[in-house]
Structure 1
Amino acid sequence: MAEPNGERIHAATDDPARQANRPETESAARPEDPALAEVRERAQRAIADADNARKRAERTAADRVTAERQRVAAAWLPVLDNLDLALRHAGADPEAIVQGVAQVREQAADILARLGFGPVGAVGEPFDPARHEAAEAVEEPDVPAGTIVRVIRPGYGGDTLLLRPAVVAVARAGGGRAEGADAERGSDGG
């Protein structure tokens, strides 16, 4: 407001009660405490460093995956080459073709073993539901129950990782002679 003589009334700004309700525009213009500014700057740097570390870790992981895929694919190239060679000679002696395919199969099994995945499931092993899949239960008189008697499809895995379980035929309970029965027969003289 202005007085008739052109002077402004400053009563509103001099009132302490009005000053308390006034927005803190003056405090925003005040210089920041140096300790608070340092803490804020350190926090911003820490956030930026963490973000950079996360991005670096993501790039490193992606690079490792790519390198591993390339290494595994390169290990399989000789198998592919040998299969192509076998196909080119399909009209040759059938016995030689079978022998060549057997060698390529051994080459593939060797690659899996070098990658840490050997065969799982062998005749005579006890059945393990964590590593084997029972497709059949068969009666085998001289084999204890729960023993693998035939491998239908081999499984592959390592100590801690299973690529696929072996599909097997297992001796059925009651089909094999029990150890106690053998002992009884021995004591009966039979």
Structure 2
Amino acid sequence: MPIHPQNPEPVVPGHTDPASEDAAAPPPSGRPTGRVPATDGQPGVGAADGGPAPSDDEYAAELQELQDRWRRALADLDNLRKRHARELERERKVERSRTAAAFLPVLDNLELALTHAGADPGAIVEGVQAVRDQAVNVLELLGYPRHAETGVAFDPARHEVIGVVEDPHASPGTIVDVLRPGYGDGERQLRPAAVTVAKRE
């Protein structure tokens, strides 16, 4: 009995068999066609997160670097604090020296007045007044002007009430007498003036 060969299925032009195409197509050059599956919810090796996670040694190195930076920052801060303290103390010494030097002429004039204590009493009084005016001028140059005005309104920021008096010639609430002058203004006030105030009606 003659054997008739089976006719192959007709081939459609431009069409290829998917199975044969997959079997014949080589994988991309040097690249794996798949990825290691993820386990326990963690991405597998070669996932799209940028590669494998850093090792324990890399974590330890980064931690050591951060600790070194922290220690250097603490050392720099401590050096800055010490330098600021030294500069502040130096400025204080300079200011004290400048203030003391400003009062040296006052002391010189006081000593000069004492050497002439046996002279005319009127001249001695005039000399002491001149020395007092010189000392007041020094304080004013240092930023502490003298306040000993009468007839002005009472100011609690500049005056300290020592007593209240009745004075028909003074307006109520005004300064009648200054018992102790004040020096300075505002935040630069050395002390307020001690005064008596006219009584309010």
TM-score (norm 1): 0.71
Q: 1:99 — aligned with what?
A: 126
Shift of 1:31: 8.5
Runs of 4 or more off by more than 4 Å in structure 1? none
Q: Distance in 2 between matches of 1:76 and 1:99?
A: 19
- CA displacement at 1:35 relative to structure 2: 2.0
Match of 1:139 among 152, 166, 169: 166
> Which structure's CA Rg is the greater one?
2
Alignment RMSD (CA, Å): 1.6
Corresponding residue pairs, total: 145
1:64 paired residue among 91, 104, 107? 91
Amino acid at match of 2:73: A
* TM superposition shift of 1:137: 1.6
Where do 5+ consecutive residues of structure 1 fail to align?
A: 1-29, 175-190
Equivalent residue, structure 1, for 2:145: 118
Give 5+ residue unaligned stretches, structure 2. Answer: 1-56
Larger helix fraction of residues: 1
Residues 127 and 146 in structure 1, CA contact (< 8 A), matched pair in contact too: yes
Q: CA deviation at 1:139?
A: 1.6
Aligned to 1:109: 136
Q: Identity over aligned residues, as a percent?
A: 52
Indicate the residue corresponding to 2:175 in structure 1: 148
Q: TM-score, normalised by structure 2?
A: 0.67
Q: Higher relative CO (CA 8 A, sep ≥ 6), structure 1 or 2?
A: 1
- 1:32 Cα deviation (Å)? 7.1
Deviations 1:77-107 (A, max 9, x none): 1111110110011111111111111110011
Structure 1 window deviating more from structure 2 (49-58 vs 112-121): it is: 112-121
- CA distance in structure 2 between the aligned counterparts of 1:31 and 1:95, rounded to whole angstroms: 92
CA-to-aligned-CA distance 1:125-163 (integer Å, 9 cap, x gap): 111223212222222223221100111111111232321
Residue-by-residue CA offset, 1:21-55 (whole Å, 9 max, x unaligned): xxxxxxxxx79733222211111110110010010
**Structure 2 match to 1:52:** 79
